[in-house]
A and B are shown apart, each in its own frame.
Chain A
Amino acid sequence: VEALDRGHAAPGVTPEWRERLERHGLAPLTSTSRRYWIWIGLLLVVIGWGLFAYATQLANGLIVTGMRDRISWGVYIASFVFFIGISHAGTLLSAILRASKARWQLSITRMAELITVVALLVGALFPFIDMGRPDRILNLIWYGRWQSPLMWDILAISTYLTGSSLYLLLPLIPDFALARDRLGSNASRFRRSLFTMAAVGYHHTPAQRRALERAMTVMMIIIIPVAVSVHTVVSWIFAMTLRVPMNTTVFGPFFVAGAIYSGIAAIILLMAVLRRVLHLEEYITATQFKSLGYLLGAFTLIMLYFNLQEYLVHGYKLEAGMPFHFAQLMTGPFAPLFWFYILGSIILPGVIILHPRTRTIRGIVAAAILVLLGMWVERYLIVVSGFRVPLMPYAPSDYAPTWVEWSILGSAFALFALIISVFTKLFPVISIWEVAEHRGPEPAAPGPIPPTFAPPQIARILPLLVLLGSAAGLVLGGQAQADSREATRIAAAIPPQAALGQLIEAQARLVDSSGAPIAKAIVTFATPLSFLEGRSDVVLAEAVTDKGGVAKAEFEVRTSGALTIQRRLRGQ
């Protein structure tokens, strides 16, 4: 039984395109290159080194780490918060965007959900690693108290791990069925058994589809508050500890925002890597990078706001201990890390994404790497600098991670990469059935724009774009300065077709009466809107023409139907 064949198809999905999607999506399950095994070997070596470091710690106790009685938390707890933070990638992308009926993210939801599960698995190891006597963990069960934030943490994380595993596995069922039906003898016996078992007899019958959609809807809704609760509870480990720098009520939302921020960065990085390694360029395009880039850019502002709130309120009151804390952060031993966090992982990524020239795939990936580095540093600062503020009038102690801690941290990242690498060989990393049914192919990029006025072209599924050519100063005033020539002709291009929810790029080109391009002019892209008896143009975007006289703007397609492109010069 061919599971997908009875499914619905998104606009633009042809049998050839679907066949290619299936082939690309399933290819990693049937062929493995030598480079893959070298990569796995490398990861195993790093993990082996980490195990050796942990064995050293187990044999000698926590004295082999840099942690002592005054600074009793360090790299381990900072990394715990970091990994739990990036686990928010799956929730945000998958659940929130799925609930809001967004479509652009469907080709990367699987990766996002995978990050959630793997990051939780790896992150949850750190509290155990942080214990000198991990065998005493059972005391938490025998003698645990409901009043302890540590107890809340264990309950919240185990609940989230279970939920996110379910949420990862549910949309995998139709793809398991696809792999079972399509791969046949191309897959090993182990994989065939795995696909048959994991597909739970799925054959895309109406009853099965109803049950699956219902299950996914339940998980989509419940996983959002569970995820928010997890990082709030993680923040309470600090906020409910009697340490002056942690005496703040904003830690819950601050941690949730930071988690989503680093989660977005993690998915950008992972999709950049998997896109290249697994040759998924056709399904993961600039659309996904730019959309996530915008989200990341929005979160730079949210992070800036939270940091302002945090440091302004503390700095205004300057309770006992805070002058010391501010000095150590801003001009003292933590200053390089602190300013890297503020400037390098909040301001700089924001600037990279804000500027159209750097808002490219490379630029967005660079911004994501900065965010990930900075967010680990932030957690390190919260933990270590917070614990360094003396509780009594004694000289502040210092903390420097030892080789044991760095080795274990390195092996945790290797474990993270290993689990994801193994996953790519056992399951499709793209949700094939969702892309085929709800997303379809990326809209074609607009072709070269004819230099002269062309008759309006018909778009199959596009809102009406009224392109208003203009001279300088329509809205942006002095920001763009076109020369004094009057635009006499305007040409426009858009993709010939697009699916609902997809980002498309429209272009317009302005020329004067001699055919020469007009640079630095503002072009307004608008769509007509009718309400009751009224009708007016609603501005979608504005763009400034470049040297070639071309202005570009992106829109999300929100209405369906065949529509006409009109071009108007100002005053016409």
Chain B
Amino acid sequence: MSGWLIALVLIIVWSLYAFVALLVARIARAQEVP
């Protein structure tokens, strides 16, 4: 049981990290100067 709880918390946190990485990729893609 404890394993699932820990895994759930880790999945949530690491998903947010992945989201941030995605935003950094978006910064790299949006580099055309207006």
Q: How far is the CA of A208 from the CA of B17 in the complex (A)?
A: 18
Chain B residues, Cβ within 8 Å of A207: 26, 30
A141 to chain B, nearest CB (A): 14
Chain A residues, Cβ within 8 Å of B31: 200-203, 205, 208
Structural contact, B3 and A201, CB atoms closer than 8 A: no
Structural contact, B14 and A208, CB atoms closer than 8 A: no
Interface residues on B, range: 20 to 34
Closest to B34 in A: A205
The answer to whether the Cβ of A159 comes within 8 Å of any Cβ in the partner chain is yes
Pick the residue among A146, A205, A215 that contacts B20 (CB under 8 A).
A215
Q: How far is the CA of A159 from the CA of B14 in the complex (A)?
A: 8
Structural contact, A226 and B27, CB atoms closer than 8 A: no
Asked if A212 meets B27 with Cβ closer than 8 Å, knowing A203-B33, A222-B16, the reply is: yes
The answer to whether the Cβ of A347 comes within 8 Å of any Cβ in the partner chain is no
Structural contact, A166 and B17, CB atoms closer than 8 A: yes
Q: How far is the CA of A540 from the CA of B32 in the complex (A)?
A: 49
Pick the residue among A159, A203, A206, A222 that contacts B10 (CB under 8 A).
A159
B9 to chain A, nearest CB (A): 8
**Count the A-B residue pairs with Cβ separation under 8 angstroms: how many?**
65
In the complex, per-residue mask of A121-161: 1 if CB is within 8 Å of any chain B CB, else 0 = 00000000000000000000000001100001001000100
A530 to chain B, nearest CB (A): 43
Asked if A206 meets B34 with Cβ closer than 8 Å, knowing A159-B10, A173-B27, A222-B13, the reply is: yes
Within 8 A of A (CB), among B1-34: 2-3, 6, 10, 13-14, 16-17, 19-21, 23-24, 26-28, 30-34
Interface residues on A, range: 20 to 34
Pick the residue among B2, B16, B23 that contacts A147 (CB under 8 A).
B2
**Of residues B10, B21, B27, B28, which shows the largest number of chain A Cβ atoms within 10 Å of its Cβ?**
B27
Q: How far is the CA of A222 from the CA of B16 in the complex (A)?
A: 8
Structural contact, A226 and B2, CB atoms closer than 8 A: no
The answer to whether the Cβ of A27 comes within 8 Å of any Cβ in the partner chain is no
Q: How far is the CA of A202 from the CA of B25 in the complex (A)?
A: 11
Structural contact, A163 and B17, CB atoms closer than 8 A: yes
Structural contact, A211 and B30, CB atoms closer than 8 A: yes
Chain B residues, Cβ within 8 Å of A218: 16, 19-20, 23
Q: How far is the CA of A565 from the CA of B16 in the complex (A)?
A: 48
Pick the residue among B2, B3, B23, B30 that contacts A214 (CB under 8 A).
B23
Q: How far is the CA of A219 from the CA of B20 in the complex (A)?
A: 8
Q: How far is the CA of A214 from the CA of B24 in the complex (A)?
A: 10
Which B residues form the contact surface with A (CB < 8 A)? 2-3, 6, 10, 13-14, 16-17, 19-21, 23-24, 26-28, 30-34
Which A residues form the contact surface with B (CB < 8 A)? 1, 146-147, 152, 155, 159, 162-163, 166, 170, 173, 200-203, 205-208, 211-212, 214-215, 218-219, 222, 226
A-B CB contact pairs (8 Å), 23 listed: A146-B6, A155-B6, A159-B14, A162-B14, A162-B17, A166-B17, A166-B20, A173-B27, A200-B27, A201-B27, A201-B31, A202-B27, A203-B31, A203-B33, A207-B30, A208-B30, A211-B24, A211-B27, A214-B23, A215-B23, A215-B27, A218-B16, A222-B17
